C-alpha cells in the first residue's frame, strides 16, 4: 500500500537491523487518516469473504482493526494480554513470548465473542516472528472459529513470521513488506495490497 510505504519512509526510524520505530503514526501517536485508508484497503480485500468478526491484539492493532471492522460493518474483538492465567470455562488462553520485547503474556479470549463457524480476519500492526498471530489463530480456532486471513500493516519479511504462518496454512496479506532494515535504510519487497 503506497500510502503506508511512503509514510514509513518519511516517518519511520530503524532502531537496529530488526526494529523499526513508527511511534508518530502507529504505536504511540496514531494518524486516523492513515488508519482509515488502511481499514478501507483491508475491507475491500476481505469484503467478498463473508467476514463475521475482525480480531486484533491490544494495543497497536486496535486502530487499524477498528476501521476495518467499521468498513465491513462487523464487530471488532480485542484479544487481551493478561499477565497471569485466569481460570474459568468462559475464556481460552495461550502463552505468547515476544522475542522483540523479551516479554511474555497470556493472550486471552472470552468464548462468548467467537461462535462456532465464525469467519474471522485477524488484523495486527507488526509481523515479526508470528508469535502473536499464531496464538490469536489458536484461540479463535479453540472457539470453533475459522481464520479466513491475517492482515498485517508492517511485515518484517526478513524474520520468520510469514513463512511460519503460511506453512501452518494461513493466508497472510501485508500492506508493507520490509526486506531489509539497517541504520538509515528501509528496503521493501512487493506488498500484497
Stretch that binds ligand G4P, among 1-9, 45-53, 110-118, 125-133 (CB under 6 A): 125-133
Q: Is 46 helix (H, G, I), strand (E, B) or coil?
A: helix
Query: How many residues bind to ligand G4P according to rule CB under 6 A?
Result: 24
10, 14, 116, 125, 126 from 185: Cα distances, Å: 12, 7, 45, 20, 18
Selected from 3, 11, 13, 21, the binder of ligand G4P by CB under 6 A is 21
Q: Does 166 bind ligand G4P (CB under 6 A)?
A: no
CB 31 within 8 A of CB 25: yes
Site for ligand G4P in 28-67 (CB under 6 A): 57-61
Q: Which of 135, 108, 123 is nearest to 54 (CA)?
A: 123
Stretch that binds ligand G4P, among 2-10, 15-23, 112-120, 136-144 (CB under 6 A): 15-23
151 is an interface residue for ligand G4P by CB under 6 A: no
Rounded Cα gap, residues 63 and 21, in angstroms: 17
Enter the C-alpha cell of residue 35: 488508519
| CA dist list (Å): 151 to 1, 55, 102, 113, 174 | 12, 10, 24, 20, 6
Assigned C-alpha cell, 8: 514509513
- 41 or 165, CB closer to ligand G4P? 165
- Which cell numbers hold the place of 4? 503506508
Q: Pick from 129, 146, 158, 180: which binds ligand G4P (CB under 6 A)?
A: 129
Report CA dihedral (62, 188, 17, 124) to the nearest 10 degrees.
Answer: 10
Q: Which is nearer to ligand G4P, 11 or 52 (CB)?
A: 11
Give the three cell numbers for residue 159. 524474520
Q: Is 120 in the site for ligand G4P (CB under 6 A)?
A: no
**By CB under 6 A, residue 19 contacts ligand G4P:** yes
Nearer to ligand G4P, 30 or 193 (CB): 30
**Applying CB under 6 A, does 150 fall inside the site for ligand G4P?**
no
* Nearer to ligand G4P among residue 83 and residue 90 (C-beta): 83
Sites of contact with ligand G4P (CB under 6 A): 19-22, 27, 57-61, 98-101, 125-132, 156, 161
Amino acid at each position: 500500500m503506497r500510502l503506508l510505504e511512503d509514510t514509513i519512509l518519511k516517518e519511520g526510524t530503524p532502531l537496529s537491523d530488526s526494529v523499526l520505530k513508527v511511534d508518530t503514526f502507529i504505536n504511540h501517536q496514531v494518524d486516523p487518516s492513515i488508519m482509515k485508508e488502511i481499514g478501507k484497503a483491508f475491507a475491500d480485500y476481505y469484503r467478498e469473504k463473508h467476514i463475521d468478526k475482525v480480531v486484533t491484539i491490544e494495543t497497536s492493532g486496535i486502530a487499524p482493526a477498528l476501521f476495518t471492522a467499521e468498513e465491513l460493518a462487523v464487530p471488532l474483538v480485542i484479544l487481551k494480554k493478561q499477565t497471569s492465567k485466569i481460570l474459568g470455562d468462559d475464556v481460552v488462553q495461550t502463552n505468547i513470548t515476544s522475542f522483540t520485547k523479551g516479554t511474555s503474556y497470556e493472550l486471552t479470549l472470552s468464548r462468548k465473542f467467537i461462535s462456532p463457524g465464525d469467519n474471522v480476519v485477524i488484523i495486527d500492526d507488526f509481523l515479526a516472528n508470528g508469535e502473536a498471530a499464531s496464538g490469536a489463530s489458536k484461540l479463535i480456532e479453540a472457539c470453533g472459529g475459522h481464520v479466513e486471513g491475517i492482515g498485517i500493516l508492517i511485515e518484517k519479511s526478513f524474520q520468520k513470521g510469514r513463512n511460519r504462518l503460511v506453512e501452518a496454512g494461513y493466508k497472510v496479506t501485508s500492506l508493507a513488506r520490509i526486506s531489509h532494515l539497517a541504520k538509515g535504510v528501509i528496503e521493501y519487497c512487493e506488498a500484497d495490497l
